[in-house]
Amino acid sequence: MYKNFFNKLQKILLSNGWWAFLFILPAFLGTFIFIIIPIFISFGLGFLEWDLIRSPEFIGINNYSELFSSGIFYKVLWNTFYYAFATAIFSIIIPLVLAYALDRKIKGSGLYKSAYFLPYVTPMIVIAIVWTWIFDPNYGILNWVLGVGDSIKWLYDEKFAMPALIIVSVWKNIGYNMIIFLAGLQAIPESVNEACELDGATGVKRFFLITLPLLTPTLFFVSIMTVISSFQVFDLIYLMTEGGPGNSTMIMVYWLFKQAFEYFNIGKASAIAYILFVIILVLTLIQWKTRKKWVLNE
Residue 199's pLDDT band (boundaries 50, 70, 90)?
Answer: low
Same-domain pairing of 290 and 222: yes
Separation of alpha carbons 233 and 199, rounded Å: 46
Q: Average pLDDT, stretch 129-135?
A: 93
Q: Average pLDDT, stretch 7-35?
A: 75
Same-domain pairing of 240 and 276: yes
pLDDT at 151: 84
57-58 and 48-49 beta bridge pairing: antiparallel
Same-domain pairing of 24 and 115: no
- H/E stretch holding 57 reads strand 57-58
Stretch among 102-116, 142-156, 176-190, 223-237 having the lowest mean pLDDT: 102-116
**Percent of the chain topping pLDDT 70:** 91
Same-domain pairing of 12 and 150: no
> Which residue segment(s) compose the domain that 17 sits in?
2-63
Same-domain pairing of 180 and 87: yes
Q: Is residue 94 packed enough to be buried (19+ CB in 10 Å), middle (13-18) or exposed (0-12)?
A: middle
Same-domain pairing of 135 and 248: yes
Q: Is the pLDDT assigned to residue 255 strictly greater than 70? A: yes
Residue 18's pLDDT band (boundaries 50, 70, 90)?
Answer: low
- Number of domain units in the chain: 2
Q: Residue 211 in contact with residue 188, Cβ under 8 Å?
A: yes
Same-domain pairing of 118 and 243: yes
Q: Residue 253 in contact with residue 276, Cβ under 8 Å?
A: yes
